[in-house]
Amino acid sequence: MSIAVLGAGAFGTALAITIARGGTPVTLWARDAKHAAQMQATRENARRLAGVSLPQNVTVTAEIASIEAGIALLAVPMQQIAAFLAEHGARLAGKPIVACCKGVDLQSGFGPTATIAAACPTATPAVLTGPSFAIDIARGLPTALTLACGNEAEAQRLQAALSTDTLRLYRTTDTTGAELGGALKNVIAIACGVTIGAGLGESARAAVMTRGFAEMQRLSQQLGARPETLAGLSGFGDLALTCTSEKSRNFSFGLALGRGESFDAGKTVEGAATARAVARLAREAGAEMPITSVVAAVLEQKLTIREAVDALLSRPLKEE
């Protein structure tokens, strides 16, 4: 079965590379025609994954109308999914569409699968998420991810089609838990970056990670997620990776905030929009999420870093 990867950023390109290495034909769609032509000619995504070659069974194109595939991997940023599907969703009718992004839509409050379902009612929505860096996947380093799809039979089919020798997929039907784990950990990663950037120390980062995980569990379970999903790859696993490595854009973004430095505006930081969307969700659900709330307030310039730290440290003492 052929596979289309829609989005030629680092993660989309890495997925195309690893799946193609197993012998499956892959079409990689890039929005920019010049970029697509360059990748097709040079067999490399020099902008995002320099030094990693595209297998010969990866075809790069900017012509989405020419793409025919049994499975579509949607590798565009969360905040762009709705607009992308409004423009191209009709071409994906009836297909499984696997979102390869993490976040909550700022306008609708939907996660990836609900956004897909609203735009493409006949499609089968799924999400691929978990602890991973694109460069590791592209280089063939061992990586395990969560594949979430509400249809168990389709989840099994997608798991078999997308797993490779180095990319191991674990399936679940809990799309809510998988999506919220991936989205919320980005917000906590920003907070951890701020903690280290502001010089508060490793012990403080451990506290933020731990209390952040409690927030993730609190809201997710209130919205119907299963506890074991948050304890798995798409929750705790992704949190551990993203909060401890400067390869993480969300952590690096927080690091720059904490240091008072600028950050590359060309890099997508999913957690920035997600923090604002989740803070609103938490208020509506009546869920207590102090770390998420102060991250959102800092991003909206309602609090300084110092005021955010003071707000968290002055909270009432309580049982864990």
Instruction: Give catalytic residues, as residue numbers.
Output: 185
Cα→Cα distances 141→8, 15, 121, 245, Å = 20, 12, 36, 16
The single residue listed with the structure tokens 């992004």 is: 101
Give the burial class of 3: count Cβ atoms within 10 A of its Cβ; 0-12 exposed, 13-18 middle, 19 or more buried. buried
- Phi then psi for residue 114, to 5 deg, are -70, -35
- Which residues are bridge partners to 59 per DSSP? 27
User: Is 304 within 8 Å of 238 (Cβ atoms)?
Assistant: no
CA 283 – CA 290 distance, rounded (Å): 11
CA 234 – CA 310 distance, rounded (Å): 31
* E-only strand ranges, 54-175: 58-61, 71-74, 96-99, 124-129, 143-149, 167-172
